[in-house]
Amino acid sequence: MYPAIHDAVAVATTLEEEAEAVWLRRADLFKLVKATFEKNKTLDVESRHYLRDKMQRSIDAGHESLGDDGINRFLEINNRIEELTKAYNKALIEERPGAWYSAKDELQGLSARELSGWKAGQGEQQGLLYGPPANSGLLKVLPYLDNPTTRRKMYLQDRKGLAENAKIFHEIVILRDERARLIGYDNHAAMRIKTRAIRSLEQVESFLDDLEKSIIPKGVQEISQLQSIRREDYKRWGVWEEGDDKGFPPWDLAYYRTQQMKAAGVDDANVAPFFPLDTTISKMLKLFESYLSLRFKKIPDSRLDESTLWHPTVQAWETYREKSFVGYLYLDLIARDHKYKGSQCVNIHCGYEKQDGSRQLPATVLMCSFPAPTESSCAQLRHPEVVTLFHELGHGIHDLMARTKYAHFHGYHLPVDIGEMPSTLLENWCWTKDVLRHLSCHYTKLDSKYLQQWRQDNPNSPDPAEKIDDDTLDRIIRIRNINRGQYHLYQLAISVFDLKIHAAKSHEEARSLNLSKLWYDCRERYEGVDCSEARQSDHEHASFGHLLNGYDVGYYGYLACAAFAKDAFYSQFVDDINDKQTWGRFEQYVLRPGGSLDNQLQMIDDFLGRQPNFNALAESLFV
């Protein structure tokens, strides 16, 4: 069934792309849109924004600068980029070459949770496990893998299947550059920045430069602390060699961050039992019921079948406000084969105003890849996964609450340097003691069989409390900024890489770019990690999809939105995260407009009552 769904989506996407190419090719439609825009000055703001956007897309397809041959070449490039992007994305969700590992000698520290989905060996491979699977991901294993030799082996092995993706990535960069120059831009960055909320490359570069100066000293301090922990651990394993302290390999970052948090008294393995997945998401929905006067109602299985659900683990919810139906929320939260391996919110159907004045209401899905439940326990969330789930639910709420005239601007359909702001703001709730206590419920309280199994596994121990204790919550909150500089410097490295590869001074320069070298140059400069060994055979820049799926000349948006979110939280919500008036203004100025405003930053200005503080992110790291 599921491969058939993927095939059907591919066919539908191709039809849509072909139709869009036909529309872009038609000069008569461009002339009609332009005339309507120029002659109807009294149209409402959203309608003029819609026409301006459509007109600019046609102009960027060459309708004011190119003849038929030029327009045809532009569309040929578009089609080729779309073909390549599909192939790239398909490779990301498919299994890559793994390796056999000894469960006893190489995978120390990994629990059944991390090893879920690994293949058990038979015959000569008896006692071995094959992995890691693409969908559970290397990133879910490295934080807990004790053996330093295995971490290195696994990290380098994981990228071996990405050589073809690296070629695709570079071809797309070259085609983007050609397309931009074809219609008169200096490069792809100059063309793409016009579609962002911050419409100036100079302003973006200034923001990133200021962030670098502010955060790198914190990053240097953090990597030094991690190196001290790493040195002692390597010595215990007997693998420390002279000169090892001259660099810090990327495959060790996640593990020693985890060890540092454990030293601070926070072990996510002990936190996760308090956040069973189904209970946690239900309680998150209860929060939004309170904040926005909503009501969520789970649709019973008797009303659902294969025509409405694409997998048995998917849930469907109806959303109401008072007696009015708002839209559908789908939850597809468990990892499985051939599924997107990260976390995202995906709009299924946009809301918009119909010609008769009624509304088409939205449907949206939270798509995550959390570990599946085991025979003796339900699915559980570590604290970082709680934050991730609340972030994605924020996108879903945005999608449900938006009220735009056109589907084109619905919900989170915003430039990426503003669209992440609402959900990034909401992450702060998951670092708040009262919210975490509200969300918590030890999984053994959900089913007597869970409690019975827990008692067998923990003889002579008292039954666990229902709610997570205050001392643990205090420790979680205290560690919030541990290694946060490193986290944002990684984002900064990708942001700079993104701008560099799309801002070539000539087409020849774009063709000659060494993307792998540039990627590791950026990581070494900003994060301070040693990528010398990874450079030899690694294609890490081709291991994620953002820069080929809408975030090109926009990855900096994560940092910009983090700055906007910090500013909004500390100036509007920090004193009372439940304040109905503040939530009312947040809905009015941020959630409801979707992407309907011509000046997208206006929503932040309106909500704050002033322009945002771009330094808020850096300032928050030193609070």
pLDDT digits (tens, 9 = 90+) for 91-112: 887 767 788 999 899 999 998 8
365 forms beta bridges with 330, 346
- At which residue do the structure tokens 């449900």 appear? 400
- The reported pLDDT for the residue numbered 513 is 98
Q: What CA–CA distance (Å, rounded) separates 369 from 342? A: 6
Kindly state the average pLDDT of the residues 282-301.
97
pLDDT of 10 > 70? The answer is yes
Q: Would you state the pLDDT for residue 43?
A: 92
Per-residue pLDDT, 3:
66
Question: Closest Cα partner for 563 from 418, 406, 370, 377?
Answer: 418
Kindly indicate the confidence band of residue 69, based on its pLDDT and cuts at 50, 70 and 90: very high
Please tell me the predicted confidence (pLDDT) of residue 139.
80
How would you classify residue 609: left for phi > 0, otherwise alpha for psi between -120 and 50, otherwise beta? left
pLDDT band at 135 (very low <50, low <70, confident <90, very high): low
C-alpha distance across the termini of the chain, in Å: 51
- Average confidence (pLDDT) over 335-347: 86
Quick one: average pLDDT of 464-492?
Answer: 96
For the stretch 472-483, pLDDT in tens is 999 999 999 999
| Opening angle at CA 350, ends 172 and 38, nearest 5 | 75
pLDDT at 24: 87
Mode of pairing for the β-strands spanning 128-131 and 119-120 = antiparallel
**Where is average pLDDT lowest: 203-212, 307-316, 578-587?**
307-316
CA–CA distance, 184 with 623 (Å, rounded to integer):
46
Q: Please determine, for residue 53, whether its predicted confidence score (pLDDT) is greater than 90.
A: yes
Q: How many CB atoms lie within 10 A of CB 39?
A: 8
Question: 99, 120, 118: which is closest to 110 by C-alpha?
Answer: 118
Residue range 203-246, pLDDT digits in tens: 999 999 999 999 999 999 999 999 999 999 999 999 999 888 88
What's the whole-number mean pLDDT along residues 39-52? Answer: 92
For 301-326, what is the mean pLDDT?
A: 92
**How confident is the model at residue 399, as a pLDDT?**
98
Domain ranges of the chain: 2-92, 99-160, 271-478
Residue 279 CB partners (closer than 8 Å, separation 6+)? 441, 443, 446
Q: How far apart are the C-alpha atoms of 329 and 338, rounded to whole Å?
A: 22
The pLDDT confidence band at residue 195, using thresholds 50, 70 and 90, is very high
Q: Are 157 and 483 in contact (CB under 8 A)?
A: no
- Contact status, residue 426 vs residue 611, Cβ threshold 8 Å: no
Q: What does pLDDT average to over the chain?
A: 93
Confidence label for 445 from pLDDT (cuts 50, 70 and 90)? very high
Q: Which of 20-24, 444-448, 538-542 has the highest mean pLDDT?
A: 444-448
DSSP code, position 377: B
Give the pLDDT score at 134: 61
Tell me if the domain spanning 271-478 has CATH number 3.40.190.10: no
State pLDDT tens for residues 409-428: 999 999 999 999 999 999 99
Q: Band of the pLDDT at 170, cuts 50, 70, 90?
A: very high
What value does the mean pLDDT take over residues 239-259? 93
The whole-number pLDDT of residue 573 equals 98
CA within 13 Å, CB half, 310? 17
Per-residue pLDDT averaged across 429-448, rounded? 97
